[in-house]
Structure 1
Amino acid sequence: MGLIATANRVPLPRVLGLVLMGQLGIAGYLLYADARDWYYGPRGGEVSPTITEPASPGDQRRRYLPTTVPSREGRPGGPVRLPTTMEDMAFTFEDTAEHGRVMLMSGFIAPGTSDRFEAALDGEEIDTIALHSPGGVVQEALRMGKLVREAEYDTLLTPDAACASACPLILFGGVERTVSRAAWVGMHQASFMEGQSFLTGAEAARQIQALQGQILDHTAEMGVDPRVQSHALQTPPEEVYYLLPEEVEEYGVATVLTE
């Protein structure tokens, strides 16, 4: 009775104004959260806290932190220098005895990265693309994977290198795919990034399903067993499923598995 009486004393325009202010407050917070995650999530940050125990059957999920990727203590890396930060993707070159002329692609896959990648290849004689990336924009990774295959490059993951989220789509593009047992290949569900928070549930579902169809087609076209994507589909975006070396081999993610 008291609540009803109180409500009756509040003018309707004022009630509607308070509701509108609350909705605007929620919208403002969501925009802030998106901006915060965009700035502090996939940009900047140290490569990783050490993971002291390797993934084992039944214990392959880890929290996904875009600014951190797993590494193992005591390993010097591979034939190309690994980065110490995760900024927007950088392209560096190094001549190696084992893999020829290598382009190391390290960092986050952002909007426009595939155009930068294509430009970086212009005039360069490349044999192998080495990867160290927490992932990023799926459409960019799909295009980069196709560019790798069209140019008939090999791909490489050295010890302690990580290729997670959208990054494996580039790895799959290699004609020969060399993966160290001490590298990390991580899979999870595709998700929306900034600017897409206000899609309806139905529209978001349609777009995600269409995108997943492109991912499955790309995986098969590159000669990798599409069953590997079942691990991605069962792993939410806030987690990563790290493939065991035997899974990397079984699904054809690697054509050559090294120590």
Structure 2
Amino acid sequence: MPSLCWVKYKGAAWVAVLGLLTLSANTALAALSYTAQVTDNGLRYLVVNGEFETTDDLSKFVASIQISNTQAVTFNSPGGSVVKAMELGRLIRSLRLDTIQIRNMECASACSLAFMGGILRLAQPGSIGVHKSSFSEDPTLNVADAVSAIQQMTANVIAYMTEMGVDPALLQLALTYNSDDIRYLSGSEMEKYHLTMTGTQPSADQDPQRASMPPPNISPPVLPPTAPQYPGAQANLPPPTVEPPSFAIPTAKSGRVQNYNGQAPLKAAPSSASRTVVTFMNGSALTILDDTGKWFHVKVGNRVGYMFHSWVWVAEYGAGPYGTQFVQVKSFDNYAQTEQYVRGSPLPLTAFLASNGWFAITLDRTLDPDGAEALLTKLKASGSIPDDAIATWGNAFVRKVCCTGR
């Protein structure tokens, strides 16, 4: 039977606990089941078996964790429902669990999304497979609605990967492989896309909502001084910041619906799988009653329910005018790297504190959606910005934090 070296952290310091994790291969079954295991050196872990289905009751997962006092989760799954896999990933993150994966146990397709939920993520090369998601054919959907649904799902997956500290460029790789094919990732690719973690873990006193951080020794790329600039770009570097920026996040109280699909569902519970109460168009005013961590409890008109953070433009954040988009170039988990990147770029950039504690680097102006996409395409083609840059509404951007005097 195979083994995997398990490295455990305590707070922000390295504490090497080296043990052998032995896992027996189980045949993946329909729907999810959970098997508690323990290694000879006392590491408790839970094996998630089977295919992700929209009807899976994840309360059974929580109960299994509580009963077995599990420290880590591993998978034997061919994939399944993307929505349910992301729901399990967020649950793993909220329970502060680690994830591991070895080659003789399958974790493919949607399973890779659940794996991303781990605070610490370790995997053997070739143990995780990705490909293009397949969408069930619904004869009631016309072509426009089907395309819209796929676009919405893609946006949700990108938001989820960013939330989990994984480079969304991994999705671009996955999309090059059809749903009937599979691409197993090498060890270097897992590190490149931050799917596995080799750096330090966030300390226990940090915000539990904060996404897991990529290795801190990753140097931000610096654009060459001859990189093409769009009109108005500044060539000279700015003076040092005089005052340290504020990283306090204001309480979200009000806002509007702002979603890539032009509308957003009001859910009965803080879960993507929960019942849709009603759907509201972009621009619909809402009152934010509470923030559950990933979902806002909101009131829209006389209806009360839940909306995911990325579906809501928050008035108290004030990152940019409603209805305009940012071109997001890069993101970092710490301010020092953020400021270094902004100041070292020939492009006019600014940085925003995001509601999850990360920092998003964008071009210093917002545009209408068509203009943002056109500029994004132009800058990528010229090599001025990374290939994984995106156009985004910036709903989670709280305020500008870098760089004063630019």
With the length of structure 2 as denominator, give the TM-score of the two structures. Answer: 0.42
Letter in 2 for 1:133: S
Correspondences of 1:4-153 after superposition (within 5 Å): 76-78=1-3, 79-97=22-40, 100-115=43-58, 116-153=60-97
Structure with the larger strand share: 2
Counterpart pick for 1:235 among 177, 180, 187: 177
Aligned twin of 2:161: 219
Aligned twin of 2:98: 154
Aligned twin of 1:186: 129
What secondary structure does 1:113 align onto?
coil
1-side partners of 2:72 and 2:98: how far apart? 5
CA offset at residue 256 of structure 1? 4.6
Q: Bigger relative contact order, structure 1 or 2, given CA contacts below 8 A and separation 6+?
A: 1
What secondary structure does 1:247 align onto?
helix
Moved over 4 A (4+): none
Deviation per CA, 1:22-57, whole angstroms, max 9, x where unpaired?
A: xxxxxxxxxxxxxxxxxxxxxxxxxxxxxxxxxxxx
What secondary structure does 2:73 align onto?
strand
Q: Is the 8 A contact 2:26 2:105 kept in 1?
A: no
Aligned twin of 1:73: none
Aligned twin of 1:251: 193
2-side partners of 1:153 and 1:92: how far apart? 16
1:208 aligns with 2:121: no
The 1:85–1:233 alpha-carbon spacing in structure 2 relative to 1, beyond 3 Å, is: closer
CA offset at residue 119 of structure 1? 4.0
Q: Is the 8 A contact 2:28 2:78 kept in 1?
A: no
With the length of structure 1 as denominator, give the TM-score of the two structures. Answer: 0.64
Aligned twin of 2:277: none
2-side partners of 1:189 and 1:98: how far apart? 39
1:164 aligns with 2:108: yes
Unaligned runs of 5+ in 2: 4-21, 200-406
Aligned twin of 1:69: none
What secondary structure does 1:239 align onto?
coil
Aligned twin of 2:341: none
2-side partners of 1:114 and 1:220: how far apart? 25
Q: Tell me the number of residue pairs that the alignment of Structure 1 and Structure 2 aligns.
A: 180
Deviation per CA, 1:135-175, whole angstroms, max 9, x where unpaired?
A: 00111001000000011100010232221110011110001
CA offset at residue 80 of structure 1? 2.0
What secondary structure does 1:184 align onto?
coil
What secondary structure does 1:143 align onto?
helix
2-side partners of 1:99 and 1:243: how far apart? 29
The 1:159–1:238 alpha-carbon spacing in structure 2 relative to 1, beyond 3 Å, is: closer
1-side partners of 2:55 and 2:62: how far apart? 10
Structure with the larger helix share: 1
CA offset at residue 97 of structure 1? 4.4
What secondary structure does 2:107 align onto?
strand
2-side partners of 1:164 and 1:189: how far apart? 11
Unaligned runs of 5+ in 1: 1-75
2-side partners of 1:128 and 1:232: how far apart? 26
1-side partners of 2:36 and 2:43: how far apart? 10
What percent identity do the matched residue pairs reach?
28
Q: Is the 8 A contact 2:27 2:76 kept in 1?
A: no
Q: Is the 8 A contact 2:28 2:77 kept in 1?
A: no
Q: Is the 8 A contact 2:121 2:195 kept in 1?
A: yes
Q: Is the 8 A contact 1:160 1:184 kept in 2?
A: yes
